[in-house]
Chains A and B, each alone.
Chain A
């Protein structure tokens, strides 16, 4: 067995047997070879379900919201991006640090499961890494109680904005046509919102058509309103886990819009990486007297 999976199982058993935690959230193998999926175990006997492979991309931190009112501690495994997502929830005052036990796993990068779904298992080695993983700068968990394995060297030291720059190089009409085509495909399943650790509002305006902000009519303009509003609301808080794009059934390049915001924020307010430390306020969550104010 994969030594990391073995250690995950041992730790899960230990924590559940000692009663230190009431549940452990990890990954189990899914239906197909390219699916690894979140699982919660509550007894040591179930620990052998836990796995670790190149498809463990689902971010586990957001599941903690389902247990925030429970008594006792829940343990979760965190890759680099899960750890940043955990900090996201912490900084947004959604969870309490002492109610979680974090088992960090330095991450070698996850494969693109959508590409994998198009080929046979025998071609597994040719499946590329997920886009966000290719330029990941924080594969090592930034917060944990215990670490499995040893730290890995990040694949990148600077953010990769090449796709954003290609977008910026388009004429406004081309850019408009590009997003029109993408947002026409949106079916408003809200999987991106529901998977996103930064989308943690208890009542989302998109679930409340009575508010009048958006109707339930699914058309390009309302879909665009949804996409832009969501991207704006996570701007400065997005931890670049890429979950939104990974879960999208319509293959909309959601990260492209998020990264445009990240790049603009870096340019306007100075370099900022969300979810790294929770004491620095988010760039759009506070103000400084020397903030740019061209429009005022």
Chain B
């Protein structure tokens, strides 16, 4: 492994930024999120390494709004035009915690499904090097270990480089060819050493998901939803901050004779999400919506892809304005 002193963080980012577009977690205007390193420097923003960002890195692969193609309608003729890629350089994102690496693994299941590979998503994945950080400072809201995330080794279908926090140093281990190239670019800043994987600190929140999808498959009509839905105000916070929620809507943005087909994030908690032509809504109330959110995360996704659509990142525990708590839900469902 290549071991680099943490004092050299700026050198490290600068070195990478020469051949890559570097993306880092940072705080700007009182919000933590993943930002291009150039913007961090320009805005004098603070790089945030000791906690998980409020907004997840999901937008790097599934932007909140993304043009799919442009179109012109002139003289009764329709012309469709591909949009140019907005990724000129390879990107590198450092560091991504294991819960968020797992989030990308969830998105891969959907957008790189062998039945349909999403070209725009694939391009972003291929042009991004993911540097995964094993975090040894879990927050009181973290429960990724319970959700099946390996705290010591990031999901290697996603992570290109594994980074270990050794206290005053970082250790870098390449896991893929892309990762190897990135490590080459920073090699000169440190030295080659053999290091032991640091000890994993326990997380406060523990929750049991053993047999949960099977159990939930029989609970569609359970009374749990009647009480659990009460607090929810049907906003989009939980879905938008979640590293795994991937629902999108396709819509047009038209000006005069030209327009763009857009793909934008959507949330199953919005009342209009399921609204159909003619006004029928198969999920008419918040009970049906809250049920869908939890069943999608903890049952349906598992049935389709044998993994949970929750990585235990804890964002919704902290940020749901009314504290609709997925851990509490799992505990209540287990107790049934």
Contact = CB atoms under 8 A, between A and B. Distances in A.
Interface of A: 30-32, 35, 37-40, 58, 62-63, 66, 117, 181-182, 184-185, 187-191, 193-195, 207-209, 215-219, 246-247, 249-251
Contacts of A182: 29
Contacts of A37: 231, 322-323
Interface in B234-282: 234-237, 239-241, 249, 251, 253, 262, 264-265, 267, 270-272
A153 to B, nearest CB: 30
Contacts of A250: 31, 54-55
Interface in B58-100: 64-65
Contacts of B64: 187, 218
12 contacts: A31-B317, A32-B318, A63-B230, A117-B318, A181-B29, A184-B29, A190-B235, A216-B264, A217-B264, A218-B64, A249-B321, A251-B29
A209 B254 CA distance: 12
Contact of B235 (A30, A40, A247): A247
A188 B54 contact: no
A174 to B, nearest CB: 15
Nearest to A243: B321
A38 B31 contact: no
Q: A-B pairs with the 4 shortest C-beta distances? A: A247-B321, A189-B236, A191-B235, A37-B323
Contacts, number: 100
Contact of A217 (B236, B262, B318, B328): B262
A93 to B, nearest CB: 21
Interface of B: 29-31, 54-55, 64-65, 140-141, 227, 230-231, 233-237, 239-241, 249, 251, 253, 262, 264-265, 267, 270-272, 286, 317-319, 321-323, 325, 327-328
A66 B286 contact: yes
A16 B119 CA distance: 58
A190 B54 CA distance: 16
A188 B236 contact: yes
A185 B235 contact: no
A35 B323 contact: yes
B330 to A, nearest CB: 13
A279 to B, nearest CB: 29
A40 B231 CA distance: 8
B267 A189 contact: yes
Contacts of A190: 235-236, 270
Given A38-B231, A189-B240, 12 more contacts: A40-B227, A62-B233, A187-B55, A187-B240, A188-B236, A189-B236, A217-B65, A217-B262, A218-B64, A247-B235, A249-B54, A251-B31
A189 B286 contact: no
A185 B53 CA distance: 13
Nearest to B326: A31
Which interface residue of B64, B233, B241, B323 has the most chain A CB atoms within 10 A? B233
Nearest to B321: A247
